[in-house]
Amino acid sequence: MSRVAYTEKDIGLMARMMRAEAEGEGQLGMLMVGNVIVNRTKADCLDFDDVRSIRDAIFQVQGGNYSFEAVQKGDLFYQPARGIEKKLARQAVKFWRQHPAMYALWYFNPYEVCPTTWHGQPFTGQYKQHCYYEPIPDTCESVYGY
């Protein structure tokens, strides 16, 4: 059973994004990025009320820019997915979850100490260089309901 509907093309796309965003953070870091992608696909709230697929999540535009920086700046994103990243992407869609990315909808690398909030949403933890943020429960119950 999977958390979201997906095709093999989606797995390749997600694998490429996971590597582009977190290759330096190892397999666990890549899984956490995959978890955020799946959470954005499942969330029916805030900035993600019109995101319904892995492709929608990865190519979402907010404020005139892609939500994932690697889409516009990442050479790694535009290289073919490798087997290990595809395996990790399948894990993420098939219900892999771990703190601090368990319910996270956002992450970023501040290159300093993680702020306690990100656009008003609470900090849930840090893994290596990425800070993770999940929505306030009352503002996005859908991300906590699966």
Full domain range(s) for residue 55: 8-144
pLDDT of the residue at 1: 78
CA–CA gap between residue 70 and residue 113 (Å, rounded): 22
**Count of domains in the chain?**
1
Q: Tell me the whole-structure pTM to 2 decimals.
A: 0.95
pLDDT of the residue at 74: 77
For the chain (length 146 residues), average pLDDT per consecutive 10?
A: 92 97 96 97 93 97 92 90 97 94 96 94 97 94 83
pLDDT of the residue at 130: 97
pLDDT of the residue at 146: 67
2 domain residue, yes or no:
no
Name residues whose C-beta falls within 8 Å of residue 124's C-beta, 6 or more positions apart in sequence: 99, 100, 101, 102, 103, 104, 132, 133, 134
pLDDT of the residue at 75: 86
pLDDT of the residue at 115: 97
CATH of the domain at 24: 1.10.10.2520
3 domain residue, yes or no:
no
